Amino acid sequence: MAVADTLPASHSFDLSAEVARQPVLLKQKMQHPYWGGPVQAFAFDDVHHYLFVVQNHNVYSSYTAHGTFEAYTDTLVINRIPLTGSDAGQVIDSMTVPYAGHGSIGVVPVGSQSQIWLEGDPDGPASGPCAGQHTCAASNETEIFGTEIDSFPYRPNAITTTTRPAGLVAHFVGNYHISVSSDPVHQRLAIRYWNASLSSFRVAVYDWNDVHDPALLRVSIPQTSFAQGFVLYGQYYYVLNGKCLPGEADCTDSTQLFELDLDSVGSQGSATQATISQHAHTAALATTLAGLKAEPEGIAVHADAQGRIGLFFGFNSRLTADNNLPKVVSIVCKVGWLPHTSSPQPDRCPN
């Protein structure tokens, strides 16, 4: 199968639409708050009605509210949260994944299970320009995080060893800073990575029932200053960017949402980048998340049983600005399509 020039046309979210005032989760402690690790990403399984939230394991001098941060680790915990039933919105179990990179996630329903996709091999390759380095020039001087793609079924309260899908190993050798996300509406996976030979970030798109190269589409994308989350929706790729909420005293890079049109490259070739079709500052969050010290972390698409679709984005938060712990996750939603869609405008966020 040849790599396509474009993905099928789709409508896009209106990034100027108001942010929902009712967060899905607000001040929700994660399963392992004593780890001290921030929330990094999240994804939805819309078939089995779960939200999966990835938390980093960081090292503190003590795991108390006043513990001092000392180091990052590459171990992740994936927290499972039902969207329906008596436990809706609560962490019911978790899965620990050692040596799993920084924490992007895609989720694919397979039979009765949720198949997890993560970036892996965070220590980097044994050879090449970044051998033995956590950052290097070939990775655009960023932390290389994952250098491979891992996939495994979610198993409650288990510690897993990750596996590399054979069809993807060859292509991603020598690439760095890999992130993965899922589009549950169009049933696709998107893998973002730094390509050293092209000196650019790239996105490869796959049908999630056939995640083998060649990809459905592979294009270069522009780099944003502090990208914190990625998700695919149809032909559009959304990036959550920034370090903090607008209005914080120490905020130097306010939160933004970017939409990239992956079809804008077409047949022009790999050297051409997808264009930013719209972007927006998320100033409305200042009211929604009042009282929380929050860093943008993670973005995902979710559709409920009534067909309502929302663009959700999250924040790793602290209950007070001067304490490291406890860590919480706050997830809010945008709804509303741009005028070119023929679909009815949703009246609220998905359940």
Query: For residue 203, what is the domain's CATH number?
Result: 2.115.10
Q: What does the pLDDT average to over 313-330?
A: 61
Q: Output the pLDDT for position 132.
A: 60
Query: What is the C-alpha separation between 270 and 266, in angstroms, rounded?
Result: 10
Tokens standing for residue 249: 């005293």
Q: Output the pLDDT for position 223.
A: 82
Cα separation of the two ends of the chain: 38
Does any domain span residue 7?
no
Q: Reply yes or no on whether the pLDDT at 62 is more than 70.
A: no
Q: pLDDT: is 224 or 219 the higher one?
A: 219
Does any domain span residue 102?
yes
What percentage of the chain exceeds 70 in pLDDT? 61
Q: What does the pLDDT average to over 180-194?
A: 93
SS3 for the chain is CCCCCCCCCCCCECCCCCECCCCCEEEEECCCHHHCCCEEEEEEECCCCEEEEEEEEEEECCCCCCCCEEEEEEEEEEEEEECCCCCCCCCCEEEEECCCCCCCCEEEEECCEEEEEEEECCCCCCCCCCCCCCECHHHCCCECCCCEEEEEECCCCCECCCCCCHHHHHHHCCCEEEEEEEECCCCEEEEEEEECCCCEEEEEEEECCCCCCCCCEEEEECCCCCEEEEEEECCEEEEEECCECCCCCCCCCECEEEEEEHHHCHHHCCCCECEEEEEEECCCHHHHCCCCEEEEEEEEEEECCCCCEEEEEEEEEECCCCCCCCEEEEEEEECCECCCCCCCCCCCCCC
Q: Output the pLDDT for position 206.
A: 93
Does any domain span residue 221?
yes
Does any domain span residue 20?
no
Does any domain span residue 295?
yes
Does any domain span residue 16?
no
Q: Which domain holds residue 87?
A: 25-334
Q: What does the pLDDT average to over 53-62?
A: 70
Q: Of 3-7, 115-119, 343-347, which range is least confident?
A: 343-347
HSE (side-chain half, CA atoms, 13 Å) at 73: 16
For the chain, the domain total comes to: 1
Q: What are phi and psi of 10, to 5 degrees?
A: -140, 165
Does any domain span residue 258?
yes
